[in-house]
Amino acid sequence: MEEKSAWMKWNQTKKQKRLTLTLKETKKLFFQNFSIKEIAKLRKLKLQTIEYQIIELITLGYIFLGDLVEDEIAHQILETFEEDVPESLKEIKNQLPEEINYFQIKCVLASINNQPDSIYD
């Protein structure tokens, strides 16, 4: 059996987590079409905090990848997995054009791990 990476283990635990009040608020603002920067400003939180919450919401299945990352960019990120599975986010980033950022990479990874583990999930 293949060993799961630390990212996948973290993501697996998120699947079992309930939506907290802070995640509910971020989700509500996101679906009111506020940008991530605007949500951070409205909530008086750091941009990184809101990005982390958005990634959690993707992992939990409340936000879909297409809401944040264009298909072409998502495909470029996924192509980094064709040969070997990269060991780190930095290794993925180094294989991509400069304009693709870490947040986009994390969103793609969160969406991958949001898929059911079996037909019974």
What are 19-29's pLDDT values in tens digits?
899 999 999 99
Number of domains in the chain: 1
On the question of pLDDT at 33 being above 60, the answer is yes
**φ, ψ for residue 31 (rounded to 5)?**
-80, -5
Percent of the chain scoring above 70 in pLDDT: 79
- Residue 119 binned pLDDT confidence (cut-offs 50, 70, 90): very low
- Tell me how crowded residue 29 is: count the other CB atoms within 10 A of its CB: 18
Within a domain: residue 95?
yes
**Within a domain: residue 120?**
no
Q: What residue type is 40 in one-letter code?
A: A
Number of helices (H), then strands (E), in the chain: 7, 0
Residue 100: both structure tokens together: 């693709």
CA-based R_g, the chain, Å:
15
Domain-located, residue 68: yes
Is 63 part of any domain?
yes
In a domain, 1, yes or no: no
In a domain, 118, yes or no: no
Predicted TM-score (pTM) of the model is: 0.76
Residues 6+ apart with CB under 8 A from 36: 30, 47, 50, 51, 54
Nearest 5°: the CA angle 8, 108, 104 is: 120
The domain that contains 104 carries what CATH number? 1.10.10
Q: Give pLDDT tens digits for 49-70.
A: 999 999 999 988 889 999 999 9
4 assigned to some structural domain: no
What is the phi/psi pair of residue 93, to 5°?
-55, -40
Domain boundaries, position 17: 9-113
Residue 31 inside a domain? The answer is: yes
